[in-house]
Structure 1
Amino acid sequence: MTTSPERREPPPYLFAVLCGLAVFGIYVATLAETTAFWDTSEYIAAAYVLGIPHPPGNPFFTVLAHAWGALPLAGLYAVRINLFAAATSAACAGLLFLVADRWMRNVVTVRWARLAAAFAGVLVGALAWTVWNQSTVNEKVYTVSMLSTALVLWLGVHWADDEPGAHKDRWLVLIAYVITLSSTNHMMGVLAGPAVAIYVLLTDPRTLLKPWVLWLGLFTALAVSGKWTALVDGSPADKGVVLFLLVAVAGYTALRDVGEFRRPMLWLSILAVVVGISINYLFLPLRAAQFPPINEGEPTTWAALMEVLNRAQYGKPSVLMRQADFPSQLGNYLQYFNWQFARDWSPALARVATLLFTALGLSGAAALWVKDRRAFWASLTLMGTLTLALIFYLNFKYGFSYATNPALGPVPREVRERDYFFVVSFSCFGLWVAVGIGALMQAMADLTKRSLATPAGALAGAPVLGLVLIPILGNHTTASRANETLARDFAVDMLESVAPYGILITAGDNDTFPLWYAQEVERVRPDVTIANLSLMNTRWHLRQLARRKEPPFDASRAAAIWKDHAGSSRPARPSCR
């Protein structure tokens, strides 16, 4: 296999860093200065106490954010974790810049134009409304998933461009490790896998027939799906399927060459997958057994661990039992897509912006079809996985604000907007936009019969780059989290309204998680017991309430109304059986 000239050009790592820093600067300028509603407070508090948030527990996020939070980056812990979201999202932008530059090399041959188009397109994806909004406060764990998706894509591209040789195999092992490790943050991190598989197939089909690669793929699939646990407590049918796959791959390996079983790469592949997935099965039960203040699901036993990892408490129906018709679910996604480019503007202008960037993205996909079929099929697989496949799998109810046919009458709806589940698709759409911008720049220069390398050609093509200003100006106001303090203010006021050693009865996320944050991170009135009515339906929450030992009431840090209670002791608690 020969190396083509465009592949020999080294990746623009310096420009990727500059791209990431530019995105990071925008995020920091609009960063939340404290916690926020929904899951933000839960995740910040869980990172602080090294606890276990709601299922599936997200252990990789917790460990990573806990380590990041120890860095002296800001005075307030919440700001540090919000910076973590900004940094991981900005790093994602830098890696997508590298992918966009590589995929455009057959579309735009002039280097400055290719780099500029890659920067502009990636910036459009990074400043899409949901991406921007999720990157300025750590509401979810999805910025880590965005980063792992971009990393897996770049590693796949790098594998394809690497010189042939035994050393090339290491990139595939690293990809499998990143995918399995990312699955312990959130399953969204594995969705780049099919696109990379297509990229590998179209680069060198023989690679997928190598026994060690089959073992790598099988173990990765069993690990991220959790199906390997069928060997422990699965049904006979599930055990049979897993054993059949293992025997089939072993038989294929033996037929190819028995010596493959002694090949170090095979065992290194298995080890990489086992190490990557192990945090689910080691950290969660070990940390849960230490009973941290936040210990949702309390996975101290195998059965409890399986319930947490399988999200049993949510009781979601099979994908075959649709909670809303698929056209409506697709329409809900298109509603969210329409929010991405100019959310601050009027609905009419926002639709114009959406149509413009949709046209740019589709023209980018068309350019890849003409110039680089391998990149086209990989990117199409990526976007198809992140949109159609994900919409079908998530099987959401009707969107919170999605307009339905009045003839349907009342319909089941989600409790909030679910646009954040598709944040990776909005970010990766910037890849197509980047190629589209590059192709448009090339077309504008061609109209002048000049190359983009000449001043006249550059003058004709450069104005296209101004399109990146649309999401910057059109999303800034509503995507920004600067000066938002309502969640923290609410939590502090609620806790300070309670007498020493009192009990606050809560019901949902928004009246519970901010209180957890205020108590565990800022140590506001830790003497108050918080009892969540929804969680009281679980035995683990009742056990945690019974185990809880309130610290002494500190009048010096309490509201003035409670100063006279200095030195008061906790009332006797009735025995709990």
Structure 2
Amino acid sequence: MKKFFTLNYEIITVIIVFLLYTLTVSKSTISLDNGQLAATSYFLGIPHPPGYPLFTIIGFIFSHLPLPLRVIEKLNILSSIYSAIALFFLLKTLKILIDELDSNNISHYNLFVQRKLTETEKIILILLGGLVFAFSKTFWSQSTNYEVYSLNILLISALTFYSLKAFSIEKNFSLSAYSHNKIWLIVFIIFGLILTNHLASSIVIIPLLYIYFLNYNPQKLTRLLSLLILSSLVAIIFYSYIFIRGSMDIIVGFGHPRNIIETFEHITGKIYQQLFLKSIEDFFNNIYFFFSSLIFHFDKLDFNSSEFNLNILFAIPGFIGLYFLHRKIFYFFFISLFLFVLLPSLYGISDIDSYYIPAYFVISIIITSGFYLIIKLSEKRSVKNLLIVLFSVLITLQFIFNFNRVDQSENFMNEDYFKNITKNLEPESRLVNSSSMLHSLSLYFQLVEGFKPDIVMLTYPLINTKWYINQTNKIYGKGKKIILDENQSTDINFADGQYYFTIEMGLKIFKGEIKIPENFELIPYGLTFKLVQLGTYVEQKNDMYDVRFPTQNFQTKYELNEIIKEMLILRINYETNHNRKDKADELKKIFLSKYSIEEFPHYLQ
């Protein structure tokens, strides 16, 4: 049994961790782009820039597997699979690292070098280091929903492993072995795949070139061009998917590029250039966010900070030990960490935490180096055993706290919100929103699951773009829903159907930013505003305020909770003004079941 585990510990660990991931995986859509990515994968469409062709193609295949699950559940599980495979490559990387550290003969550390670890001790350290990353908060949270970040870190993890493997083979055998070393081919193919998934990760080319040239050979310089061409060809082959699908009559396609120029602009993310370093203040705010994420706390429901819990403390001896014991590998990981922190910090986006996952990946390797150094410095077997128990306890604590922080198995908040605002709307009515999240949710629930497909969802920030107009008209089908003028701007035709507005759009109308027809007004209707003639009373059902919130404290949870509270107050006031005291009292009971009496306005009591 021991021999079997020794030979297969990576696979066994990955399977166990994957099964643990399935306990926390979401059964619905939870992230900003979750619904859009699921819909574009299911219909083989084109997601938002840079297009994620590899991600989309794999998602298409997986979403059509005959499994007894919703499409979104299958795709969320796919992210768990990506994360588990990323862990596999990390374990392989840690094995190379610990073997390198343990075999690196440094003359001025003779006593240290003489203390070789046993194979069992090495395996334990590898497993502990792998679990530090497996149960890190942000990486684990990305395994719960269908997003691009799990596949991204899988590719980075694989590239790191094969890079170190190639370096180790060249160092431990001979430089002449390079001509027979085909591993660099694998490395640069993986780099090409990285380019097809998340362009921000292309920065990995810098540490890759560093380790590539560590064991220098003149052949390497001449062969580098062919390897880079290989990476480019891999990327071009997959990105040709965007051009090919863009030229077809696809159902869902962000931007819908139809020629080479539009395809290039989509791949390079031209539309997102405004998000790149708005100010130096944003940069330092992101840097602060990253370092504060490493601070530990013990609130199981607070998603902020505490990435590694107390295990982050071992990063300090990890840096020191790696620097003195293997400087070449130290610089490889130091360069990687520096760039994985620097580049994401230049972006002004809401999900910046996920951009730092490659940095957390490197930090987990540094923490493992800290475990190694402390064990190596311990002479007595009893002390080593005690330290291993301590490391195991700390990782168990990290698991317990982060399990509660990332568990999305009962999170239906976004799904409930979308269904509550649409379920009682008349067929073919228009719901105008300004939220990319609602746009994403509508693509999934209306197109993939067929929920209220006759409600025309109009996302106002996109309403003057040709591709969005064409897509909207195609989806809802019955004639043109949006009319373009000769200046390529749009105007909402309020006479072509019943209109509803989300609370954000309602505020724009109240501020005069959007004009509505004379003799019309907005009235609160569930979680939306309905456009009606002045003085009209409209009844509503009171089943539009029930949302299953997660236990964790997320910003979106707070925002949605405030929307429900505000819309309930407005509807109670509306019923009161129309002398519908019975209706107002019913809504007040709903309000008090969700909020305290102190939050209820005095003028309505």
TM-score by length of 2: 0.70
Match of 2:199 in 1: 187
Give the counterpart of 1:274 among 233, 241, 248. 233
Query: Is the 2:472–2:481 Cα contact (8 Å) retained in structure 1?
Result: no
Q: Equivalences for 1:36-51 in 2 at 5 Å? A: 36-51=30-45
Query: Is the 2:132–2:395 Cα contact (8 Å) retained in structure 1?
Result: yes
TM-superposition CA deviations, 1:466-489 (whole Å, max 9, x none): 221121122111211011112222
Give the counterpart of 1:492 among 419, 429, 445. 419
Give the counterpart of 2:225 among 192, 197, 214. 214
**1:148 and 2:155 correspond:** yes
Give unpaired runs (5+ residues) of structure 1.
Answer: 1-10, 221-269, 397-413, 551-569
The number of residue pairs the alignment matches comes to 462
Using the TM superposition, give the Cα deviation of residue 31 of structure 1 relative to its aligned residue in structure 2, in angstroms. 0.9
Match of 1:161 in 2: 168
Cα distance between partner residues in 2 of 1:317 and 1:571: 35
TM-superposition CA deviations, 1:195-233 (whole Å, max 9, x none): 23222222x1116743122343xxx3xxxxxxxxxxxxx
Which has the larger displacement, 25-34 or 158-167? Answer: 158-167
Where in structure 1 do 4 or more consecutive aligned residues deviate above 4 Å?
Answer: 345-348, 350-354, 570-577
Match of 2:95 in 1: 101
**1:344 and 2:297 correspond:** no
**1:72 and 2:84 correspond:** no
Which has the larger displacement, 509-518 or 89-98? Answer: 509-518
3-state SS of paired residue (1:504): strand
Match of 2:407 in 1: 480
Using the TM superposition, give the Cα deviation of residue 325 of structure 1 relative to its aligned residue in structure 2, in angstroms. 5.9
Provide closer, same or farther for how the CA distance between residues 389 and 42 of structure 1 changes in structure 2, counting only shifts above 3 A: closer
Match of 1:536 in 2: 463
TM-superposition CA deviations, 1:23-80 (whole Å, max 9, x none): 2122111111122241111111111111111111111111111112223344211111
Give the counterpart of 1:290 among 204, 224, 248. 248
Provide closer, same or farther for how the CA distance between residues 472 and 352 of structure 1 changes in structure 2, counting only shifts above 3 A: closer
Query: Is the 1:121–1:468 Cα contact (8 Å) retained in structure 2?
Result: no
Cα distance between partner residues in 2 of 1:326 and 1:526: 42
Match of 2:524 in 1: none
Query: Is the 1:13–1:98 Cα contact (8 Å) retained in structure 2?
Result: no
Give the counterpart of 1:205 among 212, 216, 234. 216
Which has the larger displacement, 519-528 or 326-335? Answer: 326-335
Q: Equivalences for 1:2-17 in 2 at 5 Å? A: 14-17=8-11
Task: Give 1:420's aligned amino acid.
Answer: S
Q: CA RMSD in A?
A: 2.9
Task: Give 1:277's aligned amino acid.
Answer: I
Cα distance between partner residues in 2 of 1:126 and 1:573: 47
Match of 1:314 in 2: 272
3-state SS of paired residue (2:457): strand
Give the counterpart of 2:332 among 362, 366, 378. 378
Q: Equivalences for 1:392-541 in 2 at 5 Å? A: 394-396=346-348, 416-443=350-377, 445-446=378-379, 448=380, 450=381, 457-459=384-386, 461-541=388-468
Provide closer, same or farther for how the CA distance between residues 208 and 93 of structure 1 changes in structure 2, counting only shifts above 3 A: farther
Task: Give 1:539's aligned amino acid.
Answer: K
Cα distance between partner residues in 2 of 1:506 and 1:149: 37
3-state SS of paired residue (1:152): helix
Using the TM superposition, give the Cα deviation of residue 154 of structure 1 relative to its aligned residue in structure 2, in angstroms. 0.9
Query: Is the 1:178–1:276 Cα contact (8 Å) retained in structure 2?
Result: no
Match of 2:474 in 1: 547
Provide closer, same or farther for how the CA distance between residues 494 and 192 of structure 1 changes in structure 2, counting only shifts above 3 A: same
Cα distance between partner residues in 1 of 2:303 and 2:374: 26
Cα distance between partner residues in 2 of 1:327 and 1:513: 30
Cα distance between partner residues in 2 of 1:208 and 1:435: 33
Using the TM superposition, give the Cα deviation of residue 310 of structure 1 relative to its aligned residue in structure 2, in angstroms. 2.2
**1:114 and 2:131 correspond:** no
Task: Give 2:217's aligned amino acid.
Answer: R
Task: Give 2:406's aligned amino acid.
Answer: A
Query: Is the 2:436–2:459 Cα contact (8 Å) retained in structure 1?
Result: no
TM-superposition CA deviations, 1:267-302 (whole Å, max 9, x none): xxx35531333221x211211222322111111112
Match of 2:112 in 1: none
Cα distance between partner residues in 1 of 2:365 and 2:339: 15
Using the TM superposition, give the Cα deviation of residue 316 of structure 1 relative to its aligned residue in structure 2, in angstroms. 2.1
Provide closer, same or farther for how the CA distance between residues 199 and 302 of structure 1 changes in structure 2, counting only shifts above 3 A: same
Cα distance between partner residues in 1 of 2:475 and 2:438: 20
Query: Is the 1:342–1:470 Cα contact (8 Å) retained in structure 2?
Result: no
Match of 2:26 in 1: 32
Match of 1:332 in 2: 289
Percent identity, aligned pairs only?
Answer: 18
Using the TM superposition, give the Cα deviation of residue 572 of structure 1 relative to its aligned residue in structure 2, in angstroms. 9.2
Cα distance between partner residues in 2 of 1:60 and 1:93: 20
Query: Is the 2:301–2:404 Cα contact (8 Å) retained in structure 1?
Result: no
Which has the greater radius of gyration? 2
Using the TM superposition, give the Cα deviation of residue 459 of structure 1 relative to its aligned residue in structure 2, in angstroms. 4.9
Task: Give 1:344's aligned amino acid.
Answer: K
Query: Is the 1:93–1:126 Cα contact (8 Å) retained in structure 2?
Result: yes
Cα distance between partner residues in 2 of 1:147 and 1:347: 23
3-state SS of paired residue (1:93): helix
Provide closer, same or farther for how the CA distance between residues 343 and 197 of structure 1 changes in structure 2, counting only shifts above 3 A: farther
Query: Is the 2:293–2:306 Cα contact (8 Å) retained in structure 1?
Result: no
Using the TM superposition, give the Cα deviation of residue 386 of structure 1 relative to its aligned residue in structure 2, in angstroms. 0.9
3-state SS of paired residue (1:293): coil
Cα distance between partner residues in 1 of 2:76 and 2:471: 28
Provide closer, same or farther for how the CA distance between residues 79 and 360 of structure 1 changes in structure 2, counting only shifts above 3 A: same
Larger RCO: 1 or 2 (CA < 8 Å, sep 6+): 1
Match of 2:558 in 1: none
Using the TM superposition, give the Cα deviation of residue 351 of structure 1 relative to its aligned residue in structure 2, in angstroms. 6.8
Give the counterpart of 1:123 among 121, 124, 131. 131
Task: Give 1:290's aligned amino acid.
Answer: M
Cα distance between partner residues in 2 of 1:358 and 1:381: 19
Provide closer, same or farther for how the CA distance between residues 419 and 459 of structure 1 changes in structure 2, counting only shifts above 3 A: closer
Task: Give 2:225's aligned amino acid.
Answer: L
Cα distance between partner residues in 1 of 2:137 and 2:307: 15
Task: Give 1:151's aligned amino acid.
Answer: A
Cα distance between partner residues in 1 of 2:482 and 2:341: 53
3-state SS of paired residue (2:359): helix
Cα distance between partner residues in 1 of 2:482 and 2:39: 29
Give the counterpart of 2:321 among 356, 362, 367. 367
Match of 1:223 in 2: none
Using the TM superposition, give the Cα deviation of residue 576 of structure 1 relative to its aligned residue in structure 2, in angstroms. 6.7
3-state SS of paired residue (1:337): coil
Query: Is the 1:442–1:461 Cα contact (8 Å) retained in structure 2?
Result: no
TM-superposition CA deviations, 1:100-144 (whole Å, max 9, x none): 121112246221112111211221112111111111111x20111
Query: Is the 2:25–2:408 Cα contact (8 Å) retained in structure 1?
Result: yes
Provide closer, same or farther for how the CA distance between residues 469 and 575 of structure 1 changes in structure 2, counting only shifts above 3 A: closer
Give unpaired runs (5+ residues) of structure 2.
Answer: 103-115, 486-605
TM-score by length of 1: 0.73
Provide closer, same or farther for how the CA distance between residues 386 and 47 of structure 1 changes in structure 2, counting only shifts above 3 A: same
Provide closer, same or farther for how the CA distance between residues 342 and 434 of structure 1 changes in structure 2, counting only shifts above 3 A: farther
